[in-house]
Chains A and B, each alone.
Chain A
Amino acid sequence: MDTFAIGNLMRRPEAGAILSLIAVIAFYVIFGGVNLVNLFGAASWVNFAANLGIVALPLGLLMIAGELDISIGAMIPAGSMSIAIVSGYYGMPIVVGMAVALGLGVLVGLVNGLLATRTTVPSLIITLGTLVAMQGIVLAGSVLLTGNASVPLSAPDWAKTIFGQLLGGSYQIIIVWWIALTALFVLIIHYTPWGNWVFAMGGDKESARNAGIPTNKVTITLFVLSAVSASFVGMCGAILFNSAQVSGGMNYIFNAVVSVVVGGVLLTGGFGSVMGIFFGTLTFAIVNQGIYFTDIDRNWSSLIIGVMLLLAVLMNNSFRKLAMTARPKKKPA
């Protein structure tokens, strides 16, 4: 029975991510002398994971559907700058700032989605364009409007409580958002017809369309989701830190893609899981932030991430093959 359960786990998309997580922790304990109690008690990597995770989830869904969105790198500062400019610099109510930040996400997501569905240009190129364009808009716009590349913001208490408080003194409230969103996405992607469509589109968009799936609508929705999530993360950051900068966010692109791929999502689409993306993000966060808890010089962390990425992808490949070929054990007749 036990071996059966393990065999089943191996065939799931998140298998590689869970094993990577265990391997990374083991590596840090053995070679880095990490004290597990300190590591698990620390907020730094959980905060890091939550911010990254909220961006990685919709990006992962886009990748399952066979698309990619790198404009998230510009949408994070765009989200934080727009709320800071509207509610900080111009002193409008915080809800207006939020509406502008999230509305900007909807707008950029629509542009990405419409371009991706109306043209045959790969979404990597489309979102590369919107990434750079949004960077320009954010920088030029904030200098034009405020004369500054950094804008302060003081949010009212209720907004702080919901989007920007520190629980227990060090845990960002965004962790709660991340877990809630993960649960919501698990439900949508794995338990509703809509989720089935996302996988079908990643497997074969043409067949999916012929089967009556509104592929354009789903694609556009996913792009909107991705851009809004990124500006949401930026918005929460501005509320938490009482200020916004035009820089930053670019790291999120690679970090999120690595998390998603480590999480077992197939780059060409059609395979993956929300829990996989969740564990992939956790693994990435522990590698990236956990290194501070080790005796290892932190300059090595990129090397570790690279090796882990390759190992995880190789593992995911063999697990996927296993999932395809192995048939579950015969039920007793």
Chain B
Amino acid sequence: MAENTPVLELRDVNKSFGPIDVLHDISLKVHAGEVLCLLGDNGAGKSTLIKTLAGVHRPTSGTILMDGDEVSFDRPKDAQDRGISTVHQFGGTFPLMTIGRSFFVGVEPTKKFGPLKIFDRKTANETAVKAVQDFGITRIDDGDRLIGGLSGGERQSLAIARAVHFGARVLILDEPTAALGVKQASHVLRIVLEAKKRGLAVIFITHQVTHAMAVGDHFAVLIRGALAANFMRGEKSREEITDLMAGGEALADLDSIIEGYMETHEGHPPAPVA
């Protein structure tokens, strides 16, 4: 039973902003040690979906379950406390802070200095450097370096290492490879696989077919805020996936089917293609 309970599950999640419905009846499961690739064009609702998972938005209706228990997040902090961690496109968001300092933003280690609690720079730096080196990025060896001096891939890696260090169980990666070159991107993909190996559930948002194919176990395609396709690796051929992702014929077909269906079904989308 425990084996099959997904770490994170969405059941019929809807999200509207005033009169605008952005997400329609989304049901999704993510298991530990699984990489879910979330695909979809700009405006398909990917961002809204991950923000809902991260506690930035509350679903208008529907439920979110973690380990089978219903959860609700009032703030991003609540989601983080439950182990849902989001890493954004540019990873390190504090370019002018040092590695050690930014690693511990909000959870600074302290040591006693007389009656005062002083930021423990040495511990912060050592912990941060060790965490990222454990992920195989050995080029980061000085916690006093500024984040802005790291390469894009290193920043992503650091951000992922940070999330894992602070006990993330679900890792949401928002286009981590979008701004990276081939070599940098492969670093990040390796780290995604490492996170998966450590038993994390990874939700990986990307536009790049090759990146999704390289790490994905489970693929979900969003169109117009609805889940248009939801399938496991091996259930579809590479060509079909590529076509879905790259906005080919299959995607165009789905798009028009969903649009037509929703018009005649009070805004409810059809069941996703498996």
- A residues with a Cβ closer than 8 A to B are 187, 191-193, 195-197, 199-200, 203-204, 207-213, 266, 270-271, 320, 323-328
**B126 CB–A CB distance under 8 Å:** no
Q: By the criterion CB–CB under 8 Å, are B96 and A326 in contact? A: no
**B105 CB–A CB distance under 8 Å:** yes
Q: By the criterion CB–CB under 8 Å, are B119 and A327 in contact? A: no
Question: How far is A209 from B94 in the complex, measured between Cα atoms in Å?
Answer: 13
Instruction: Knowing that A199-B96, A210-B86, A324-B146 touch, tell me 14 more A-B residue pairs with CB under 8 angstroms.
Output: A193-B110, A195-B119, A196-B97, A196-B104, A196-B105, A200-B97, A203-B94, A208-B106, A210-B54, A210-B56, A323-B96, A323-B149, A325-B149, A328-B144
Q: When A209-B76, A328-B142 are in contact, do A192 and B118 touch as well, CB less than 8 Å?
A: yes
Q: By the criterion CB–CB under 8 Å, are A213 and B106 in contact? A: yes
Q: When A203-B93, A210-B80 are in contact, do A323 and B146 touch as well, CB less than 8 Å?
A: yes
Q: By the criterion CB–CB under 8 Å, are A196 and B101 in contact? A: yes
Within 8 A of A (CB), among B136-165: 142, 144-146, 148-149
Q: By the criterion CB–CB under 8 Å, are A270 and B142 in contact? A: no
**B77 CB–A CB distance under 8 Å:** yes
Q: Is the interface of A mostly helix, strand, loop or mixed?
A: helix
**B2 CB–A CB distance under 8 Å:** no
Q: By the criterion CB–CB under 8 Å, are B145 and A212 in contact? A: no
Residue of B nearest to A328 (CB): B142
Q: By the criterion CB–CB under 8 Å, are A197 and B105 in contact? A: yes
Question: How far is A106 from B143 in the complex, measured between Cα atoms in Å?
Answer: 38
Which one, B56, B95, B107, contacts A212 given CB within 8 A?
Answer: B107
Within 8 A of A (CB), among B61-113: 76-77, 80, 86, 88, 93-97, 101-102, 104-108, 110, 113
Question: How far is A192 from B120 in the complex, measured between Cα atoms in Å?
Answer: 8
Contacts of A271 in B (CB 8 A): 96
Question: How far is A163 from B148 in the complex, measured between Cα atoms in Å?
Answer: 44
**B183 CB–A CB distance under 8 Å:** no
Within 8 A of A (CB), among B220-260: none
Q: When A193-B119, A209-B76 are in contact, do A324 and B148 touch as well, CB less than 8 Å?
A: yes
Q: By the criterion CB–CB under 8 Å, are A200 and B145 in contact? A: no
Which one, A193, A203, A211, A212, contacts B96 given CB within 8 A?
Answer: A203
Contacts of B118 in A (CB 8 A): 191-192
Contacts of A211 in B (CB 8 A): 105-107
Question: How far is A200 from B119 in the complex, measured between Cα atoms in Å?
Answer: 14
Interface size, chain B (Cβ < 8 Å): 31
**B1 CB–A CB distance under 8 Å:** no
Contacts of B96 in A (CB 8 A): 199, 203, 266, 270-271, 320, 323-324
**B117 CB–A CB distance under 8 Å:** yes
- B residues with a Cβ closer than 8 A to A are 54, 56, 76-77, 80, 86, 88, 93-97, 101-102, 104-108, 110, 113, 116-119, 142, 144-146, 148-149
7 A-B residue pairings within 8 Å (CB atoms):
A192-B118, A200-B97, A207-B93, A209-B76, A210-B76, A323-B149, A324-B146
Which one, B54, B88, B116, B142, contacts A327 given CB within 8 A?
Answer: B142
Which one, B56, B108, B113, contacts A196 given CB within 8 A?
Answer: B108
Contacts of A327 in B (CB 8 A): 142, 145, 149
Residue of A nearest to B139 (CB): A327
Q: When A192-B117, A197-B105, A208-B105 are in contact, do A203 and B97 touch as well, CB less than 8 Å?
A: yes
Question: How far is A200 from B96 in the complex, measured between Cα atoms in Å?
Answer: 9
Q: By the criterion CB–CB under 8 Å, are B77 and A191 in contact? A: no
Q: By the criterion CB–CB under 8 Å, are B97 and A197 in contact? A: no
Contacts of A187 in B (CB 8 A): 116
Question: How far is A324 from B99 in the complex, measured between Cα atoms in Å?
Answer: 11
Which one, B54, B56, B97, B116, contacts A199 given CB within 8 A?
Answer: B97
Contacts of A193 in B (CB 8 A): 108, 110, 117, 119
Q: By the criterion CB–CB under 8 Å, are B93 and A326 in contact? A: no
Q: By the criterion CB–CB under 8 Å, are A204 and B149 in contact? A: no
Residue of A nearest to B162 (CB): A211
With both chains docked as a complex, state the minimum distance between the C-beta of B11 and any C-beta of chain A, in angstroms. Answer: 25
With both chains docked as a complex, state the minimum distance between the C-beta of B141 and any C-beta of chain A, in angstroms. Answer: 9
Contacts of A195 in B (CB 8 A): 119
Question: How far is A203 from B97 in the complex, measured between Cα atoms in Å?
Answer: 8
7 cross-chain pairs, A with B, having the tightest CB-CB distances, nearest first: A211-B106, A203-B94, A193-B108, A324-B148, A207-B93, A204-B93, A271-B96
Contacts of A208 in B (CB 8 A): 105-106
With both chains docked as a complex, state the minimum distance between the C-beta of A174 and any C-beta of chain B, in angstroms. Answer: 26
Q: By the criterion CB–CB under 8 Å, are A270 and B94 in contact? A: yes
Q: When A210-B76, A210-B80, A326-B149 are in contact, do A199 and B94 touch as well, CB less than 8 Å?
A: yes
Question: How far is A98 from B118 in the complex, measured between Cα atoms in Å?
Answer: 32
Which one, A191, A192, A207, A325, contacts B94 given CB within 8 A?
Answer: A207
Contacts of B117 in A (CB 8 A): 192-193
Which one, A209, A212, A270, A320, contacts B97 given CB within 8 A?
Answer: A270
Contacts of B86 in A (CB 8 A): 210
Question: How far is A204 from B106 in the complex, measured between Cα atoms in Å?
Answer: 13
Question: How far is A308 from B97 in the complex, measured between Cα atoms in Å?
Answer: 27
With both chains docked as a complex, state the minimum distance between the C-beta of B77 and any C-beta of chain A, in angstroms. Answer: 5
Contacts of A209 in B (CB 8 A): 76
Question: How far is A210 from B55 in the complex, measured between Cα atoms in Å?
Answer: 9
Contacts of B102 in A (CB 8 A): 200, 203
With both chains docked as a complex, state the minimum distance between the C-beta of A216 and any C-beta of chain B, in angstroms. Answer: 12
Contacts of A196 in B (CB 8 A): 97, 101, 104-105, 108, 119
